[in-house]
Amino acid sequence: SGVPEFTSDGKAVVFHRFSHGEETWLIDVSTGRPAFGPMQPGFPVVRRIQSPDGKVLLFLGKQEAELWDATTGLRLGQPLVHQGAIVGSAFTRDGKILATGGEDRTVRLWETAQGKQLGEPLRHDGPVVDLGFAPTGKTLLTRSGHVVRLWDVATGKPITGPLPDEVLSPTEAQRQRAAEGGEIGGDPLFPAPRAPLSHPVQGMAEAFSPDGRFFLTLAKETARLHDAASGEPVGKAIKHPAPITHALIRPGGRSILLASRDGTARLWDADRGEPIGEPMRHQGPVSRAYFMADGKIAVTAGQKVLKVDADTGRPIPEEQATVGGRVASPDGKTYLAIGKDSAQVMDLASGKPTGKVMKHQGHVEHAIFSPDSQIVLTWSRPNQVVKGRPVTRLWDLAGKPIVPEGGPVLAVGPDGKAVLSAAVIDGAEELQLWDTVQGKSLGPRLRHDGVVQAVVFSPDGKNLLTRTKPAGANKGQVYFWDSEMGKLRGAPPEGKAAQEVVFSPDGARVLLRTATTAVLCDPTTGKKVGDPFKTEGVKTQTSFSPDGKLLVAVTGKEIRLWSAGTGEAIGKPLVHEANPFPIVFGEKRLFTVAQNVGQLWDAEKGEAVGKPVRYPNGFQPPAFIRDGQVLVTAGRGAPTRLWDARTGEAIGDEIPSEGTGQALVPGGDGKSLLTVTYFGDGGRPSEVRLWDTEKGKPLGELAEKACSSWAVDPQRRHALVGSLTGPARLWDLGTGKAVGEPLGHKEPVRRAEFSPDGKVLATRSDEDLGKVWLWNAADGKPL
């Protein structure tokens, strides 16, 4: 599986796995169970990126990308396509606009709510290698080769003309040629002579000041401040003594912090181009540079941390851990200064430590705060002197280990209230469970005959499994523990050591796998459930259904099913013409796709239900709705169909889709389905329809053939549909009837979004893209 990451609100974890091909799931932190999934783009995924607001997931392939709604698990619009490799991407801070840059020499802007391209591509003279939005989201900075350019996001027009970083100023002759409509050095025309824009050393987004009013450009030892609205230079060019590696604009001011390869850093007055105070000198490279305390203090970090007063440049003495990075706490009150073999919590307002230095016997490679900002987790790797495995530790803000004996933490329970630490006593490894709230041990030590190789908490945190490493006559063993009492549960199953331990999503079963066999066990007793079954090593992929009731094993073209409750096999193997991918679960049903052919199956009998479903150009992700009673299938450039999951019979007529893709959003009760059809050539607007999932017929009056924008509230009760030819309206997804009067816009609505509780609607229209209108979502009246 891939590296998991929290969503921005901390309520779910984005989890990637490759058991049946590439899948992405959202796991609910409160329950440990999948919120929904899988999300499966129609291409090999190179990278996954979460929008700043956490509402959108971006899946990047080589030449295309897809946007997915992280609150519903549904794809947003059609694939985002370039004519070459996509090499860069950036979201605005509110997550509503995405920019992608590619080897096709273009940057394309996309509205994330609909996955729809905004305007024409922003064309460059070469591949676009970096890009970033200003904090305001109104301007975009792009780099192609050694040339950067500033763009107006609303119009898609360049604010500045491209100039190479070697050119510090155009000659008078070049300015005259530009004024007369000529060209400069073969570059495209630009509307007026502008200051040269050379590429920043850091990422494009970091080139801007925190308030978005200014941005920096760098050319070797030279830095220059620019007005972000016009691109015009501000003040004088700054000549630093050595090549610049870090450059930041002071929050709320016009001074600049620069650091270089020679280990020096300095504050500069951007207006006068003169230094502020003396240089900050490090014995070695500068690894970090930043402002803190609302810009009053400038900080640089190398082997030591140096601080200066940002107004005077005078040093601020302070004893602190050696730092190589920092991590901010969720509440914004503290940050963690990370060193080579140490870490320390710092108060953000004062810049002073909140407690002692957290010493480690190895390099600190990772550290995070708990969601409530009260606990720090660090992960360190042993150095050449200290041998052993990587160590995880928990600390309070005072720098005191939460585990009293300071032992390495091997695992943390799902709710964070229990942790497992390890220690070697008399040659044997003993584990101890701890209550992180009270700082007390839970039960006696968990003694093992051998070195513990893996530990796993159940999703509800009540059970713990540990597995020892095979060594000599000891074949390795799996132990079942009560994680609330710290006691051994029953006798572990006999046989070879398990190489894989997986809990079901509901925590009621655990699967133990060796190279050739697998067996289900009850984690509360440690006893087997049913008979073991054979596997074929890595050729066999096993997983549980989202509700934990089924165990699925895929070997080549065959799928086998077991009841997780009894451990008994269900029916005969489900044979396909090719390797099945994806596999989607419903209530007592599953749907599989193999080489553009889909099949519905009875999960209780292991028998096919209905006839195969074929989409020659490939499937869009299928889904079950209405509590698993209805299956929705869609193909690329093919009609969408509704199927009765009990019989496999089609419901109603085909839902037409002449476009290149469709977004499918079921209503809150699943009795309706909103379809948004996209047309990839850009010459035809999107179409929006509402369908009755019980009859497969159009529902109500919603039928917009020239959609300008659309949005659905989180509860899926109402939808806003904008039009290029008529007014924007609210619609009831249960009845298909209009809600209230049309919204009072004089021009098409281009952006719309509901509040989290679904009670307020915000819109923007062509009449003033800078203005936001608020509406009562219950009746469409203005607020």
* 728 assigned to some structural domain: yes
| pLDDT score of 769 | 65
* 512 assigned to some structural domain: no
CA 184 to chain centre: 42
Phi-psi region of 11 (alpha: psi -120 to 50; beta: other; left: phi over 0): alpha
DSSP symbol at 22: S
| pLDDT score of 10 | 52
In total, how many domains does the chain have?
Answer: 1
CA distance 596 to 111: 30
Predicted structure pTM score: 0.54
* 725 assigned to some structural domain: yes
φ/ψ of residue 679, rounded to 5 = -125, 115
* 771 assigned to some structural domain: yes
Quick one: three-class SS letters along 286-323? CCEEEEECCCCEEEEECCCEEEEECCCCCECCCCCCCC
Which of these, 775, 751, 753, lies nearest to 765 by C-alpha position?
751
Which of these, 430, 232, 657, 434, lies nearest to 224 by C-alpha position?
232
| pLDDT score of 190 | 23
Give pLDDT tens digits for 668-679: 888 999 988 877
The vertex-101 CA angle with 95 and 104, nearest 5°, equals: 150
* 185 assigned to some structural domain: no
Strand stretches in 153-220, DSSP E: 157-158, 163-164, 214-219
DSSP symbol at 168: S
CA distance 675 to 657: 9
* 730 assigned to some structural domain: yes
Strands 630-635 and 619-625: antiparallel
Token pair, residue 299, equals: 């900080």
| pLDDT score of 493 | 56
CA distance 412 to 393: 10
**Residues of 608-635 as b/e, b for ≥16 C-beta within 10 angstroms?**
bbbeebebeeebbbbbbbbebbbbbbbb
Q: Which helix (H) or strand (E) holds 178?
A: helix 172-179
Burial class (CB in 10 A: 0-12, 13-18, 19+), 779: exposed
- Which domain range does residue 710 map to? 682-691+702-783
Which of these, 432, 383, 439, 385, lies nearest to 407 by C-alpha position?
432
Q: Which residues of the chain have pLDDT under 50?
A: 1-4, 18-21, 29-32, 163-203, 205, 319-323, 384-387, 406
Token pair, residue 474, equals: 């000891």
- Provide the residue count of the chain: 783
| pLDDT score of 292 | 72
Question: Is residue 364 within 8 Å of residue 340, measured between CB atoms?
Answer: yes
Query: Reduced to 3 DSSP states, what percent helix, strand and coil does the chain have, rounded to the nearest 5?
Result: 0, 50, 45
Residue 687's CATH number: 2.40.10
* 380 assigned to some structural domain: no
| pLDDT score of 632 | 92
